[in-house]
A and B are shown apart, each in its own frame.
Chain A
Amino acid sequence: MTATDHAIDPILASVLQRRLDAISKEMATLLMRSSRSPIFNEIGDLVTVLFDARGRTLAQAEYAAIIAFGARPPLDYIIEYFGDEICDGDVIVHNDVFTGGNQNADTGIYVPIFHEGELVAWAAAKGHLADTGGMTAGGYNPAAREVWQESLRIPPVKIYDRGVLRKDVWDLISANIRFGFVMEDVKAMVGACEIGRRHLSALLDRYGRPTFDAHMQYVIDSSERQVRAEIARWPDGTYRGESEMVSDGIDPSRRYRIACEITIAGEEISFDFSETDDQAPGFTNMPPASAAGAVRIAFLMLVAAGDVIIPTNEGLFAPIRTVFREGSLLNPRFPAATIFGNQMSDEIMECIMSALADALPDRVTAGWGKYVSTALHGRDPVTDDPYVTLTVFQRNGPGAMQGTHGWDAFGFSGTAGQMRSTDPEMLEITSPHFMEYHELLPDSAGAGTWRGGYGTRSAWRTEGVGAHGVSMGEGLEAEGALPGRGIFGGRDASLSRMVLEFPDGSTKEWGSKEMVSLPPGTVIRSWCGGGAGYGDPLERDVDDVVAEIQSGLLSVEKAREDYGVIVAPGTQELDERATLAFRSGAYLKGSK
């Protein structure tokens, strides 16, 4: 019996969809709580997924969105690669970006699920491992020119074969990874998949495979119907957007253009990035799995803005087509270095949002403050333990949208607000860093009827021994980056800056993609820009502006300049008459 001629009970479909959703969440909960690396358990840079036998997504619990959508492409390759050799009890590991991976550090564990001797589904856990070998701990190194320098490549390999640990393979991988706890995290991922396998097997026992398959097909079809109905409401047409990446980690003055042509035709939408520049010589290349993930994030934000909730599964993305030209920044040829790729999610977001501003004005966001943060590694001077710290507390602001200010300190578009920021006390307890300050950055939000989100200002001192840091980001003032653009009269986003203050008193502007050595006592100062505004700032509610002045986030000068809101001299109280006069004067000027 095939899936299509099996009688469908729509209620059972809803019930199964909820059950699978709950299973994927349970897997993620266990993984986060049992893992060692703060990148997993404190930050949540991971995803857990259930797939059907063919590798189609059934349900997923996404913490880091960019990884979430990067878990699926490798499974196509794994299924093809192992063919008939996929057995009950196998556990397969994969990270390679040239066989479907999105980033070498984002490593996946894939467990086939069998029922009555047949392959019926897969459980997967994927997350950012603290190290996967290569020339630098943590993998981020602008000096890398090819993949082997960044990571041990793991095209799929079985670490368990029919339930038996392949100790030799395990030890081979372990021997190529710097930190012992990484393999403990791999164990936690295997454990999460085992939980998924157990629960899914129980469901199959209860309903039988034909019923399960037929109803999951219905669930997938229903997400597809829903998303098609949604796209059908969007105006047909072809729309173009572009953005710019500054510096490739080798030449800070290099500029790369990312360009997108979006075509909405009836119920389908395509994103064609063929016009994007050729690949870079360094690590600023984005594997297509990662680029497709970034497109999906932007797409889901547009859908969510219409108050539409669609269960995440294969059907949700069926009407989307993505094109990334081989040899371009978004589909680099082997053996390019690519570890920076996930970071380029911001550029893709900017392309898409700017392209669709006129078509979907009530759904797009204005330009975002682009993400910049650092990966720091070295040894703890007291315990001599190695550490890798991702300073994800550095947060930029997103662009505003119609009716809503940007969410302050939202951070990286690629993780869509799901990545936790390290608590300052925990940062100091678990790594040799001392936080001088970490606050919202005043005057950083682009003005508008709705303002962008505020960015952050932070400074921390590192006491690590043999420490190095790699910056990973975009949008630095010192490199002449272009700010995220304001829309419909909103002002642009603000740019970011990072300065190193070395113990000998010298200072240095830290570039956006640059590795530096950090002698103990070096202070890193960071100003992360806010997002751009939406709509004419003179239309913004006056009381809202005054409250922001009183909060200390908006200066009196900027309030006057951007919003035409004037306070009585020496106070933070509104001067109503002056404001009215200024605002109407500005209108007159504007209408000439």
Chain B
Amino acid sequence: MTMGARIGIDVGGTFTDFLLINPDGSRLVHKTSSIPSDPARAVTQGLREIAETQGLAIEEFLAGVDTIVHGTTVATNALLTRRGNRTGLLTTEGFRDVLALRDGTREEAYDNRLLPPTPIVERRDTLAVPGRVTSAGEEVTALSEDAVRAAGQLFHERGITSIAISFMHSYANEEHEVRAEQILAQEIPGAYITRSSELLAQARYYDRTSTSVLNSYVGPIIRDYIGVLTATLEEVSFKGILLIMQSNGGVTTPEGLTARAALSLLSGPASAPTAGLLEVAPHGWDRCLTVDMGGTSFDAAIVDGGRPLVKTDGTIDRWRIALPMVDIHTIGAGGGSIASVDEGGMLRVGPQSAGAVPGPISYRRGGIQPTTTDADVVLGYIAPTSFLGGEMTLDVDAARKAIAQQIGEPLGLDPTEAAAGIYEVVNVSMAAGVREITVRRGLDPRDFPIVVAGGAGPVHAAAIARELEIPLLVVPRESSIFCAAGMLVCDFRHDYVQSQQWNLSSMQTSEVTGIWASMAEQGRTTLMDEGVSTDRISFLPSLDMRYRGQWFEINVPLDESSLDSLDIAAAADKFHQIHNEQFGYHTEDTDIEVLNVRLTATGLVEGSTQPSEREGGTALDAHLGRREIWSPLHRRMVEADIYSGSSMGPGAEIQGPAIIELGTTSIVVLDEYDAVVDVSGSFVLYLRERASEMRERIQTGSTPVHV
């Protein structure tokens, strides 16, 4: 197959972003308005617009495209707005409230006014049927097929066509669930049925049930959306491969996602870590942190050893989703976070947000409480006239006045100091969020460069890096296509799990390798159906282990060679080592239990996204002038150089303190940092005191010129 062009498409709430990468490596970025009522139409609309810029009809243009990778928030939006399909749940008799009871906790300890999360399945649509197996998979009570049939009829009468089946211990014995699925399929023609043992053969009844219910709730929505999308693409004669982004950081085909729809929940930002890796890889890192700061929230994720880190205990809208998904930690801090002084005289920023409306005071949309963005404006980080490419002028005076009255006066600070306080407090919160995701895995944030995205990200990133003692950060030139770029390099990924209760030292290795073999077979078949050739398929076997008596498992990745023969002693060593890294101790005198057998099947995508060399000017060409910005180091306003980012080409370098204007946002280069444009056109900021070490690594595509 000759290599054609590839397109990444990221459907967001407001805009649908396109990134076209031609076979020669040249790129085209395009943006079109999203159409929430019919998201697929925005996709073809954008493709049509791109074709027009090239003077082609859409059919001609798509003839030269062999892959489209697509990220969608269709499922997430359906869930968050509770516009998914009315869903029925079939449980084991005696466990009708497995969902409502969740894990038994309330998110706020003392707040008796807090309401439980809105159910995804009503209790009346939860039906419980007799039939029970033990944790060892032995049948205790036979499945009542009559009860299943009656339940199916009731669902049918109520017009419910989305069903989740989740029985106690079905991970150990799936027979009852399989039979129930057959019966329900007969009773409810065309039903979308999720069988928990098929989706997630893993112990913990609430986790498995909640995940299954989420899958059925959004399943038909995804199925219909993908149907419309593929039909629309067929209409315009697209003959290439359509791939969809999953929340585990891999891609799959439309058919693959239809059965595991829950994998599209939170898939939007799932390509960010891979995109981050793309930014740091030219400089020799296989690890990074990605941070994305928007209007209301701050997301952070980690890539380590070339792979995005995943978790299996995530939640969405307060419901558990236990499928492996990219570990993205979100905290309520963004440009719209509201600053206030409490009655005790402490400055607080967030978690309340002014959102888009009324928004920050400086946006002139009726906001009356100062926000992070207002502080950024007062501190000179965001130029009032350059915001959104000059389309909107920010009201600096109103922002300063509100900060003076609401923050400065109560704290006895002048308006600038008060704004600097807001900036610092929000930065500390975000840094704490980043710390949390690293330390809970035993990682040291100082070892990771940061890749920064989002409107407010570049304004705050250097300060966050400073707080975490991180020497290097990268700001991509166009952060809007950051996720779309990541999608184009995400591999195919399918995860398999089977719960067991084994003692590591006494288990039969043939049993483990047998399970892996059947998972690998399943993975191979799926990947080959997706068009991946055998030589591009690889497997990552792993075991979830714990010391006997512990309740939380640690995922221990093993070599691919373990598939043929598992070295138990080596697996134990690896477990001890990871335990020691994460928790500061390990112990040789306790048995190790194996809880889950896992396999990840990966299919490498073809092609490279190395961009062609960019053209562009030096710092001198890009110099716009000077203005005063806040220096956290000197704790006062200082004169700083202002540059136009679009005029800076690879190799252009500047010294902090400085501002690089990017039209939609600006990069704040603090006093301690210098910045250089790298070979991909991204802006790399590094601690000046570690300049020689960092500059060695940073690839600019030209001989570095030391100032």
**List of A residues within 8 angstroms of B411 by Cβ:** 10-11
Residues 97-129 of B, flagged 1 when their CB comes within 8 A of A and 0 if not, give 110110111101111111110000011100000
Asked if B115 and A10 make an inter-chain contact with CB atoms under 8 angstroms apart, the answer reads no
A521 at the interface (CB under 8 A from B): no
Query: Given A304-B112, A401-B113 in contact, is the A188-B583 Cβ separation under 8 Å?
Result: yes
Interface residues of A in 206-232 (CB under 8 A from B): 218-219, 221-227, 229-230
B203 at the interface (CB under 8 A from A): yes
Query: Given A18-B428, A407-B114 in contact, is the A551-B439 Cβ separation under 8 Å?
Result: no
Nearest chain B CB to A465's CB is how many angstroms away?
18
B190 at the interface (CB under 8 A from A): no
Residues 298-321 of A, flagged 1 when their CB comes within 8 A of B and 0 if not, give 001101110001110001000000
Nearest chain B CB to A459's CB is how many angstroms away?
8
Interface residues of A in 178-216 (CB under 8 A from B): 181, 184, 187-188, 191, 194-195
A424 at the interface (CB under 8 A from B): yes
Asked if B112 and A301 make an inter-chain contact with CB atoms under 8 angstroms apart, the answer reads yes
CA distance A407 to B550 in the complex (A): 30
Nearest chain A CB to B650's CB is how many angstroms away?
37
Task: Please name 17 pairs of A and B residues whose Cβ atoms are closer than 8 Å in the assembled complex, sorted by A.
Answer: A29-B436, A30-B440, A34-B582, A34-B584, A191-B585, A219-B346, A222-B345, A304-B113, A310-B344, A407-B112, A420-B103, A425-B169, A425-B204, A425-B205, A434-B140, A436-B94, A437-B94
B206 at the interface (CB under 8 A from A): yes
Asked if B109 and A10 make an inter-chain contact with CB atoms under 8 angstroms apart, the answer reads no
From B204, B205, B425, give the contact of A15 (CB < 8 A). Answer: B425
A65 at the interface (CB under 8 A from B): yes
Asked if B110 and A297 make an inter-chain contact with CB atoms under 8 angstroms apart, the answer reads yes
Asked if A428 and B104 make an inter-chain contact with CB atoms under 8 angstroms apart, the answer reads no
**List of B residues within 8 angstroms of A4 by Cβ:** none
Asked if B113 and A19 make an inter-chain contact with CB atoms under 8 angstroms apart, the answer reads no
A481 at the interface (CB under 8 A from B): no
Query: Given A408-B100, A428-B135 in contact, is the A226-B343 Cβ separation under 8 Å?
Result: yes
**List of A residues within 8 angstroms of B348 by Cβ:** 14
Query: Given A437-B95, A438-B95, A551-B124 in contact, is the A15-B424 Cβ separation under 8 Å?
Result: yes
Asked if A553 and B123 make an inter-chain contact with CB atoms under 8 angstroms apart, the answer reads yes
A171 at the interface (CB under 8 A from B): no
**List of B residues within 8 angstroms of A297 by Cβ:** 110
From A17, A303, A410, A428, give the contact of B134 (CB < 8 A). Answer: A428
Interface residues of B in 53-100 (CB under 8 A from A): 93-98, 100
CA distance A15 to B93 in the complex (A): 52
A588 at the interface (CB under 8 A from B): no
Asked if B436 and A439 make an inter-chain contact with CB atoms under 8 angstroms apart, the answer reads no
Asked if A429 and B103 make an inter-chain contact with CB atoms under 8 angstroms apart, the answer reads no
CA distance A553 to B119 in the complex (A): 15
**List of B residues within 8 angstroms of A392 by Cβ:** 104
**List of B residues within 8 angstroms of A420 by Cβ:** 103-105
Nearest chain A CB to B422's CB is how many angstroms away?
9
**List of A residues within 8 angstroms of B579 by Cβ:** 34
Nearest chain A CB to B378's CB is how many angstroms away?
14
A423 at the interface (CB under 8 A from B): yes
**List of B residues within 8 angstroms of A181 by Cβ:** 549, 590
Asked if B135 and A184 make an inter-chain contact with CB atoms under 8 angstroms apart, the answer reads no
A440 at the interface (CB under 8 A from B): yes
Asked if A429 and B203 make an inter-chain contact with CB atoms under 8 angstroms apart, the answer reads yes
Query: Given A426-B204, A551-B124 in contact, is the A22-B432 Cβ separation under 8 Å?
Result: yes
Asked if B97 and A440 make an inter-chain contact with CB atoms under 8 angstroms apart, the answer reads yes
Asked if A303 and B110 make an inter-chain contact with CB atoms under 8 angstroms apart, the answer reads yes
Interface residues of A in 392-408 (CB under 8 A from B): 392-393, 395, 398, 401, 403-404, 406-408
Asked if A552 and B105 make an inter-chain contact with CB atoms under 8 angstroms apart, the answer reads no
Asked if A11 and B347 make an inter-chain contact with CB atoms under 8 angstroms apart, the answer reads yes
Hey, which bits of chain B sit against chain A, CB under 8 A? Answer: 93-98, 100-101, 103-106, 108-116, 122-124, 134-135, 140, 168-169, 203-207, 342-348, 411-413, 417, 420-421, 424-425, 428-429, 432, 435-436, 439-440, 501, 547, 549-552, 579, 582-585, 587, 590
> SS class of chain B's interface: helix, strand, loop or mixed?
loop
Interface residues of A in 372-414 (CB under 8 A from B): 392-393, 395, 398, 401, 403-404, 406-411
**List of B residues within 8 angstroms of A435 by Cβ:** 94, 168
Interface residues of A in 150-167 (CB under 8 A from B): none
Nearest chain B CB to A138's CB is how many angstroms away?
15
Comparing A36-44, A99-107, A329-337, A503-511, the segment that makes contact with chain B is A36-44
**List of B residues within 8 angstroms of A219 by Cβ:** 346
A177 at the interface (CB under 8 A from B): no
A26 at the interface (CB under 8 A from B): yes
**List of A residues within 8 angstroms of B97 by Cβ:** 409, 438-440
**List of A residues within 8 angstroms of B421 by Cβ:** 10-11, 14
Other A-B pairs, 12, CB within 8 Å; known A30-B582, A311-B346, A440-B100:
A15-B424, A18-B432, A26-B439, A30-B439, A188-B583, A225-B344, A229-B343, A310-B344, A409-B104, A417-B105, A423-B203, A426-B203
6 closest cross-chain pairs (CB), A and B: A421-B104, A437-B94, A417-B106, A222-B344, A226-B344, A34-B583
Asked if B105 and A418 make an inter-chain contact with CB atoms under 8 angstroms apart, the answer reads yes
Asked if B123 and A30 make an inter-chain contact with CB atoms under 8 angstroms apart, the answer reads no
**List of A residues within 8 angstroms of B435 by Cβ:** 22, 26
Query: Given A18-B432, A19-B428, A439-B97 in contact, is the A194-B584 Cβ separation under 8 Å?
Result: yes
Q: Which chain B residue shows the least CB distance to A407?
A: B106
Q: Which chain B residue shows the least CB distance to A392?
A: B104
Interface residues of A in 1-27 (CB under 8 A from B): 10-11, 13-15, 17-19, 21-22, 25-26
**List of B residues within 8 angstroms of A26 by Cβ:** 435-436, 439-440
From A19, A34, A188, give the contact of B432 (CB < 8 A). Answer: A19
CA distance A435 to B547 in the complex (A): 25
CA distance A311 to B95 in the complex (A): 39
A45 at the interface (CB under 8 A from B): no
CA distance A398 to B116 in the complex (A): 14
CA distance A22 to B440 in the complex (A): 12
Nearest chain A CB to B262's CB is how many angstroms away?
19
**List of B residues within 8 angstroms of A428 by Cβ:** 134-135, 169
Asked if B206 and A423 make an inter-chain contact with CB atoms under 8 angstroms apart, the answer reads yes
Nearest chain B CB to A41's CB is how many angstroms away?
5
CA distance A53 to B103 in the complex (A): 37
**List of A residues within 8 angstroms of B425 by Cβ:** 11, 14-15, 18
Asked if A65 and B122 make an inter-chain contact with CB atoms under 8 angstroms apart, the answer reads no
**List of B residues within 8 angstroms of A551 by Cβ:** 122-124
Nearest chain B CB to A118's CB is how many angstroms away?
26
Asked if B436 and A22 make an inter-chain contact with CB atoms under 8 angstroms apart, the answer reads yes
Asked if B101 and A409 make an inter-chain contact with CB atoms under 8 angstroms apart, the answer reads yes
A558 at the interface (CB under 8 A from B): no
**List of A residues within 8 angstroms of B552 by Cβ:** 32-33, 41
**List of A residues within 8 angstroms of B123 by Cβ:** 551-553
From A36, A195, A421, A436, give the contact of B101 (CB < 8 A). Answer: A421
A365 at the interface (CB under 8 A from B): yes
**List of A residues within 8 angstroms of B413 by Cβ:** 10-11
Asked if A418 and B109 make an inter-chain contact with CB atoms under 8 angstroms apart, the answer reads yes
Most chain-B CB neighbours within 10 Å: which of A32, A301, A551? A551
**List of A residues within 8 angstroms of B583 by Cβ:** 30, 33-34, 188, 191
Nearest chain B CB to A592's CB is how many angstroms away?
35
Asked if B104 and A304 make an inter-chain contact with CB atoms under 8 angstroms apart, the answer reads no
**List of B residues within 8 angstroms of A25 by Cβ:** 436
**List of A residues within 8 angstroms of B103 by Cβ:** 420-421, 423
Query: Given A222-B346, A417-B106, A438-B94 in contact, is the A429-B113 Cβ separation under 8 Å?
Result: no
Asked if B424 and A11 make an inter-chain contact with CB atoms under 8 angstroms apart, the answer reads yes
**List of B residues within 8 angstroms of A411 by Cβ:** 104
CA distance A411 to B417 in the complex (A): 47
Asked if B112 and A62 make an inter-chain contact with CB atoms under 8 angstroms apart, the answer reads no
CA distance A365 to B110 in the complex (A): 12
**List of B residues within 8 angstroms of A406 by Cβ:** 112
**List of A residues within 8 angstroms of B203 by Cβ:** 423, 425-426, 429
Q: Which chain B residue shows the least CB distance to A219?
A: B346
CA distance A264 to B428 in the complex (A): 38
Query: Given A19-B428, A365-B112 in contact, is the A429-B585 Cβ separation under 8 Å?
Result: no
